[in-house]
């Protein structure tokens, strides 16, 4: 099945990244790959969307970045969730739950 770009993805990218980082620190490619794997490739995160989102979340204090080394010795930026990011994740998760419940009420109507 070909992967299609979801218009809902842009509005939920922060939530997806925060949730991914709640599982532990990761570099950008690993964040995108985990989201793809967790959704059976239904969601694909492009670099052009991911990195601006990471920089924005870092500026907001939701994530922190530190330089590290990859398995092959390359220098990589590793992102981790901050306490502010955990609070933001809780808030965005609650908003998402409220939104999906409301949409399900409409979609479930005959």
The string of pLDDT tens digits covering residues 2-21 is 444 555 555 799 999 999 99
Can you list the pairs that 71-76 forms with residues at least 24 positions away whose Cβ atoms lie under 8 Å? Answer: 76/27
pLDDT at residue 109 in the model: 81
pLDDT tens per residue, range 40-96:
999 999 989 999 999 999 999 999 999 998 888 899 999 999 999 999 999 999 999
Domain parsing of the chain, residue ranges: 7-107
Place of tokens 């990244």: 17
Domain spanning 7-107: CATH 3.20.20.70: no
The sign of the dihedral angle between the CA atoms of 96, 100, 102, 103 is: positive
Helix, strand, coil percentages, rounded to 5, for the chain: 60, 15, 25
């Amino acid at each position: 099945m070909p992967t299609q770009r979801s218009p809902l993805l842009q509005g939920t990218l922060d939530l997806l990244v925060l949730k991914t980082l709640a599982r532990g620190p990761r570099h950008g490619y690993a964040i995108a790959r985990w989201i793809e794997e967790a959704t059976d490739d239904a969601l694909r995160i492009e670099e052009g969307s991911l990195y601006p989102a990471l920089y924005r979340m870092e500026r907001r204090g939701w994530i922190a970045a530190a330089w590290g080394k990859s398995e092959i010795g390359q220098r990589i930026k590793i992102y981790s969730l901050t306490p502010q990011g955990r609070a933001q994740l809780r808030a965005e998760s609650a908003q998402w739950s409220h939104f999906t419940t409301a949409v399900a009420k409409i979609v479930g109507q005959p």
